[in-house]
Structure 1
Amino acid sequence: MEEFDLQSLLSSSEKMLIHLLQSYAQTNDIAIFVLGNDDHLQAGIFGELSKGTRLAQMNQMTDLSKLSVNKYKYNLEYADAPLRIASINQRVGKICVAKDIEHSSGLDHLQVMQQLQKQAAYLKYLVENVSKLIIKDRGIDNFVIRYSLDVNDAIDELKDSEGEALQQIKVMSTSNSSIISAIEYIDSNLDKRLTLDQVSSKVYLSDYYFSKLFKRETGLSFSVYLNARKIQKAMILLKESDKSINDISANLGFTRLSYFSQTFKKYTGYAPTKYRTEGNK
């Protein structure tokens, strides 16, 4: 199990990336910051921040997961771009740019947003290419944290209640862009036999980090969520179609009808045949 150490990368080579970001922020009169995949601040906010502004206050925060949806509440404009490490083909976080916008200033929000989007795209290119040089010079092993399998994590996986999962996914919400993309991919491919490795690679995260992030953001392990969505769709098909149970099982990526029936009963309390005739009346 391993995870990329973004903080070490930012601080390496005499803080080259930090100095570059600080200089760009001051020159362009914006704030720049880097968030990890968990939306936590990695090395402070770069740029000259006026005391009392929202951006200055945010410099004291670590979790900025709600920033993109609350930008108008904070009187600022904001843009970001994902950061990927080519040598391991993983997303490691995102580069973010922001600017305070006072209601009385008369600044055009759309124009500011478009400019910030261009700056975020440029900084993504800058950081990824400088990172490539740093990693080539120092070696990827200097920026990878390796973990042994945590027994407590394995136990946590067993604590998920399949019986409550169907209710939980109805009210589940997350603002993490990687998890949103993963959920969209899962929901579009319920007919396939998806694995943790496949889905984590689609959002450019290590399987270890993706597993922990998914559980933190959704409250469910990847496998429980995946099966809950498959069973949720099976419930609809059983009630609203005349497809056979065997066809429904196959169409949802189950290789054996017996396993589908066992899983369905775990999540709903009914066998598929009984649910079709008696359930949800």
Structure 2
Amino acid sequence: MLKIIIADLEPIQRKSIKMLLQEKYRNQVIVLETEQGQEVIDFVENNGIDLVILDNRLVGLDGLTCAKRIKEKKPYQKLIVYTMSEDRSIKEAYQAIGIVEFLIKPLRPQILIDVIGKVLAQIPETPKRKMNLKIEEILEFIDSHLNQDLTLTYVAERMNFSSYYLSKVFKKELGVNFVKYVTERKMDKAKELLKDDDIPIVNIAFDIGYPEPSYFTKVFKKVENMTPSQYRNQYSRYK
């Protein structure tokens, strides 16, 4: 399984890229997000990130500083950089440290996916990256049971693991904890359903395992920085 981190100041941009990746690669990738420059560096150092998708504008350290520090420690780290500015000197600064995949906003989805595919194809397959078949089964189980209350204990019992072992393997193989992964998958499913204006939000809450719609709204807002209604309205404006 490949690990990708999206670093961008704008939550909407991060979510858009994440959705593109999940639609294209399904359970083949784990997608992390941040707006913090230093967090990008920390993730790369501690989580074995395969690809960094980096905006030039970040909180704290800017994109160029992050890229330089990453390349100093991991010269072969794959990065894709984008920026709003068409200033040629910015592109040349990134090229000087070995980054050739450089895009200008607004990002066109198909072009971005093509560039990501090109970069991922350059990453050699290693025994470490080959997904444990049991982990793949767990992810498939989670995706097919998003309408249930997927606690660590419940999934561990269904997959014949101890809760401790499942938690440990999840963190080691995927770089995220179990609860965060399940919550994000539920929210991803919710966003897909919210695109259909005919599905009431209360029904969506039930469909992803939240019997209390108010709690679903609370979780959605915490993850997406907006309510389900706001997300639906925003999507409708951009259709």
Using CA pairs below 8 Å that are at least 6 residues apart, which structure has the higher relative contact order?
1
TM-score normalised over the length of structure 1? 0.39
Larger Rg computed on CA atoms: 1
TM-score normalised over the length of structure 2? 0.45
